[in-house]
Amino acid sequence: MSEFDIRGIFGDLHKLRALTPRRGHKASFEACCPAHDDKSPSLRIDIADDGRILVHCFAGCSVDEVCRACNVHVTDLFPDRGEYKPVKPINEPTQDHWFIAVVKAQIKRGEPVSKHDQQLYLKAARREAMRHATN
């Protein structure tokens, strides 16, 4: 997202400039806050990796106040549901998944599995089954 895109959303923000994005953000900007009489930039706008637009006024203006001053609705700061892609995939393997895979590999190689690991295996398999049943 560019300064042009930010101006398209928030209008003509005074002293708008791009910053080096912080970790977990695609882009970052600063500008004078339109919600109060601002002489130096106190408004931070970050574009998160998941598409959310994060707004913070260091002088204390609320997100609602900043949005109202820009004639923007707060819901405009979030991506449309159809475009939303979570940062962390839902199907990401868990520790249980990896433990189950290791025990299965041991069994396949003909290696013994301790009673303790057998009990842990059963608990892990149940948790994985529950996790997949709820998704």
- Cα separation of 48 and 39, whole Å? 27
Which of 50-54, 62-66, 87-91 is the least confident region? Answer: 87-91
Confidence of residue 2 (pLDDT cuts 50, 70, 90): confident
pLDDT, the chain, mean: 85
* 75: its two tokens: 């819901």
Report pLDDT digits (tens) over 34-43.
Answer: 999 988 999 9
DSSP 45: E
- 31/11 Cα distance (integer angstroms): 11
Confirm if 88 and 113 have CB atoms less than 8 A apart. no
The domain locations on the chain are 3-77, 95-134
Cα angle for residues 52, 71, 76 (degrees, 5° grid):
25
Over residues 45-54, the pLDDT tens digits come to 999 888 889 9
DSSP state of 78: S
